[in-house]
Amino acid sequence: MATGVRRLGSFLTEDLVELLGVLDQTPAPRGRESLAAAALATWCARRWPAIEWTVQPYGAEGANLVATCGPGPLLYSHLDTSLDGDGRSAPEVTGRTDPPAPLRIADGVAEGFCLGVARAPVAAAVAAFARAGRGTLLIAGSGTHRRGGHGEGVRAFLDTAPPIESAIVAKGGPPGLITAEPGAAFLRVRVTGRPGVSMLPETALPAGGIVRHAGLVLDAVETWRERYLASRAPFGRVGAQAGIGAIRAGWTEKPDLLPAELLLDLYVITVPGERGSRLATELTATLHAVLAGGPLEGCSAHVEVEWLHDAQATDERAPIVTAAEHAWEHVFDTPPVDIVGWTGTTDGVVLREHGIDTVRVGPQSVRSSSDPRRDVVELAVLERYQRLYEALLGGAHAP
């Protein structure tokens, strides 16, 4: 039993803490979740032997954990973490190369690697499903966005699953019910000049090299971003957003060469009706305006779009939404907050694409003050969300 569990005095909390410990022990990088899925299935089979826990492989090393207890909604969360594996593989993002500290439970609080995305919601979902004994549980692989793919785990599940009418997405968020999620796309900006050498900076185009003028390109993208947000007012309950997540140029092993290309990668959140071609056209026009007449004149600008998915929404009169509202008030003794302009998106869009009425709801967490790879979540909050999921699966508030 994990340290500090007995004095918490709750069987619900004991299961949650044990599940968090299992999840913390095995890395679950996106598309390579098979070991983590197997470890979770083994633990669950020991804890709840009456339920059949199945590891569903997909791709080369991807895997889902699936369990079914007859009719009822689908309860979904995802196994992979935003940061790969052990949390050391993205120092460009975190600024850290040391391994994150192991899970810590103290004074009713859990602190650990990627609890927010998505280990804390996974623990609540698994425990709730086991106690409710109704519906279907899917802990999917590949639930985080990444270039070159989206939703492989949930799509593999849906390819062979029987018809599903409703779903609950267990993922962290605001203290309310999310019934609509925006679309998303990756954009790559490629500004190309001419290579040169550091000893003769005038040989490059622009003179001194394209990296020297990267600020102009960044400013141009920010100008486009401001126009984009101003022209896409919140649509229903979802809103638009955009941000630069990566910038690259040159060869780190030979910086005496001035590179010809500057690459910027953006993540763009879209409202209903958006088109990738429109995003590319607008951003390209802004870049051309900045390039003309300045030091980058003569360089070319090109925008590539990787479209992830369209915005999707569930009718707020759907039974799963009504049930979630009633269950929320029963568990929290207060109405859920009204959510508008939401800019987060999950595999809930894939479920809605397949005609499944879906509501997203999950616990709140904050980043650790000592390590941004670790999140902090109150076990009492997590326990309440477990009770909420139970109510939606098999209690009086089940749809």
How many CA atoms lie less than 13 Å away from 323 in the CB half-sphere?
24
pLDDT value of residue 165 = 96
**CA 215 – CA 221 distance, rounded (Å):** 10
- Name residue 36's amino acid: A
Q: Give the H/E segment covering residue 304.
A: strand 300-309
pLDDT in tens, 109-154: 999 999 999 899 999 999 999 999 999 999 999 999 888 878 899 9
The CATH number of 183-309 is 3.30.70.360
- Phi and psi angles of residue 222, each rounded to the nearest 5 degrees, phi first: -65, -40
Q: Which residues, listed in sequence order, are joined to residue 117 by a DSSP beta bridge? A: none
**CA 293 – CA 265 distance, rounded (Å):** 25
Average pLDDT of span 66-90 = 88
- Phi and psi angles of residue 118, each rounded to the nearest 5 degrees, phi first: -140, 35
The residue to which tokens 């007012």 are assigned: 233
Query: What DSSP letter does each residue of 37-66 carry, written as one string?
Result: HHHHHHHHHHH-TTS-EEEEEETTTEEEEE
Contacts with 312 (C-beta within 8 Å, 6 or more apart), sequence order: 180, 181, 183, 348, 349, 352, 353
Q: Where are the domains of the chain?
A: 6-181+312-394, 183-309
- Residue 11, number of CB atoms within 10 A of its CB: 10
pLDDT in tens, 299-351: 999 999 999 999 999 999 999 999 999 999 999 999 999 999 999 999 999 99
Q: Which residues, listed in sequence order, are joined to residue 39 by a DSSP beta bridge? A: none
Check whether 85 has a pLDDT greater than 90: no
Contact 37, 49 (CB under 8 A): no
Beta-strand relationship, 183-192 and 62-69: unpaired
Q: Which superfamily does CATH assign the domain made up of 6-181+312-394 to?
A: Zn peptidases (3.40.630.10)
pLDDT in tens, 153-176: 999 999 999 999 999 999 999 999
**CA 211 – CA 76 distance, rounded (Å):** 44
pLDDT in tens, 13-36: 899 999 999 999 999 999 999 999
First to last CA, the chain: 35
**CA 266 – CA 146 distance, rounded (Å):** 12
Average predicted confidence (pLDDT) for the chain = 93
**CA 334 – CA 319 distance, rounded (Å):** 20
